[in-house]
């Protein structure tokens, strides 16, 4: 199951196609969660990301290096434009 942190209402509604549950920091995820999709442009820098699930972050492509650093070696980054062009395909590649 996918948990999604996308506080922007338009973003959240476009990501409903993924069938995930909406979450907010601090991240207390349902037990069946396998992936956390996070809007890195709207996440506080001091928010801790969970280490027991795959974390896929999305944000502005111009900040890709900063976002990849924030996610660490186990995380994956998607450019916002690629994610919203086709959320199902983008998540399949993440």
Give me the half-sphere count of Cα atoms (radius 13 Å) on the Cβ side of residue 66: 9
pLDDT digits (tens, 9 = 90+) for 19-39: 999 999 999 999 999 999 999
| Total of domains in the chain | 1
Query: Quick check: pTM over 0.75?
Result: yes
- What does the block give as tokens for 6? 């996308």
**Distance (Å, whole) CA 54 – CA 74:** 7
Q: From CA 39, how far away is CA 4, in angstroms rounded?
A: 8
Full residue range of the structural domain in which residue 35 is found: 2-93
pLDDT at position 94 is 66
CATH number reported for the structural domain that contains residue 43 in this entry: 3.40.50.2300
Rounded Cα distance between 92 and 28, Å, is 24
């Amino acid at each position: 199951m996918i948990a999604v942190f996308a506080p922007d209402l338009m973003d959240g509604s476009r990501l409903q196609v993924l069938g995930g549950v909406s979450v907010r920091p601090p991240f207390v995820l349902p037990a069946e969660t396998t992936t956390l999709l996070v809007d890195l442009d709207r996440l506080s820098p001091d928010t801790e990301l969970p280490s027991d699930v795959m974390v896929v972050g999305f944000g502005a492509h111009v900040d890709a290096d900063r976002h990849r650093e924030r996610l660490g070696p186990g995380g994956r980054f998607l450019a916002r434009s690629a994610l919203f062009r086709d959320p199902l395909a983008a998540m399949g590649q993440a």
